[in-house]
Amino acid sequence: MTAAAPTTLSRPGGLWVAFSNNRLSWVGLVLLAAIVLIAIFAPLIAPHDPLEQNIVSRLEPPSAEFWLGTDSYGRDVLSRLIYGSRISLVVGFLAILIAMSIGATVGILAGYIGGPFDQLVMGLLDVMLSFPTLLLGLMIAAMLGASLENLIIAIAITEIAPFARIARAPTISLKQRDFVEAGRALGFGPVRIMRVHILPNMISDVVVMGSLWMASAIRTEASLSFIGLGVPPPAATWGGMIREGFENILDAWWLAVFPSLAILLTVLALNLLGDALRDAIDPKLRAE
């Protein structure tokens, strides 16, 4: 007779079960895969050079040559959109990766060490969390200056506190579990216990939130680019394109609409994916 099942994701093949239970997750996966492939194969897919200016054809609506129209410099919107996906995905992914690494480490340490250290860290996290994400990103980006690297850093910093929080809670409950006490009784040091016994048992929670927050990171990137604190022109970024579209909204609707759609689809894909993963680790499914 087998014992109670663990969470779906901690079993081999668990990811597959998570997906087969949720149709929408397939939509998210396919959509995200499409966007990633577009980003990777941008040079092969884009019909025109995103930076090539063509003053003669400026502000033209969608046509046979320029499928999504041109902007005020005559650049092909479609090509800029395709190349813009690279920026969004890279920034979103790297920012979350950095934030996750730092945030989860801080969270685990705070949860495991406890006491005054934990209270201090929690206080700092509360301060960070009380800033609206965008405002925080704005302040940091403004201080550092506008560039791709600084953008990634700024967004990463805004996401550290949430990761620390969601790493801390399971750490505290895992710390009470008998197998952690067994580790201490067996003479394992705190580093080994945190690395081998605590981290693997909570990392899926953290990674799942990571996928959901990547959507948030991409939105922040777009917002910062919109304000002008993102990657500087003439680089093609979705946020920057919306800014330009915003200025020309009455004359050239296509400049604002298509980048917005791009952001919407990317964020939607990540949310669907993240929701499916999160349902898979839902505590109600934990039978322990």
Partner 1 sequence: MIPALHNGALEVRNLTKTFAIGGGMFAPRAEIVRAVNDVSFTIPKGMALGLVGESGCGKSTVARAVLRLVEPDAGAVIFDGTDIRAAKGAALRRLRQRMQIVFQDPYSSLNPRRTIRQALEEPLRVHFRLSRQEIVEKAELAVAEVGLPREAIDRYPHEFSGGQRQRIGIARALVLGPELIVADEPVSALDVSVQAQILRLLEGLRERRGLSFLFVSHDLGVVRHFCDRVCVMYLGRIVEEGATAAVLDRPLHPYTKLLRDSSPVPDPKARLALTRILGEVPSPTNPPAGCTFHPRCPRAESLCSIEPPQLEAIYAGRLCACHFPASQNS
Q: Which is nearer to partner 1, 187 or 283 (CB)?
A: 187
Site string for partner 1, 67-106 (x = CB under 8 A): ----------------------------------------
Does position 37 interact with partner 1 (CB under 8 A)? The reply is no
Closest of 18, 12, 10 to residue 286, by C-alpha: 10
The torsion defined by the Cα of 255, 258, 262 and 264, in degrees rounded to 10, comes to 100
Among residues 182, 249, 261, 264, the one that binds partner 1 under rule CB under 8 A: 182
Q: Which is nearer to partner 1, 10 or 53 (CB)?
A: 10
Q: How many residues can be counted in the chain?
A: 288
The residues, ordered by sequence, that sit 6+ positions from 259 with a Cβ below 8 Å of its Cβ are 81, 84, 238, 239, 241, 242, 245
Does position 1 interact with partner 1 (CB under 8 A)? The reply is yes
Does position 55 interact with partner 1 (CB under 8 A)? The reply is no
Among residues 70, 79, 133, 201, the one that binds partner 1 under rule CB under 8 A: 201
Among residues 15, 105, 188, 227, the one that binds partner 1 under rule CB under 8 A: 188
The residues, ordered by sequence, that sit 6+ positions from 193 with a Cβ below 8 Å of its Cβ are 112, 180, 183, 184
Q: Which is nearer to partner 1, 23 or 192 (CB)?
A: 192
Q: Which is nearer to partner 1, 67 or 188 (CB)?
A: 188
Q: Is 57 exposed, middle or buried (0-12, 13-18, 19+ CB in 10 A)?
A: middle
Closest of 198, 193, 191, 192 to residue 171, by C-alpha: 198
Q: Which is nearer to partner 1, 78 or 202 (CB)?
A: 202
Distance CA 123, CA 186 (A): 34
Does position 16 interact with partner 1 (CB under 8 A)? The reply is no
Does position 250 interact with partner 1 (CB under 8 A)? The reply is no
Q: Which is nearer to partner 1, 23 or 184 (CB)?
A: 184
Does position 243 interact with partner 1 (CB under 8 A)? The reply is no
- Contact between 127 and 134 under an 8 Å Cβ cutoff? The reply is no
Closest of 56, 76, 55 to residue 67, by C-alpha: 76
Which chain residues interact with partner 1 by CB under 8 A? 1-6, 10-11, 119, 177-179, 181-182, 184-188, 192, 196-197, 200-201, 288
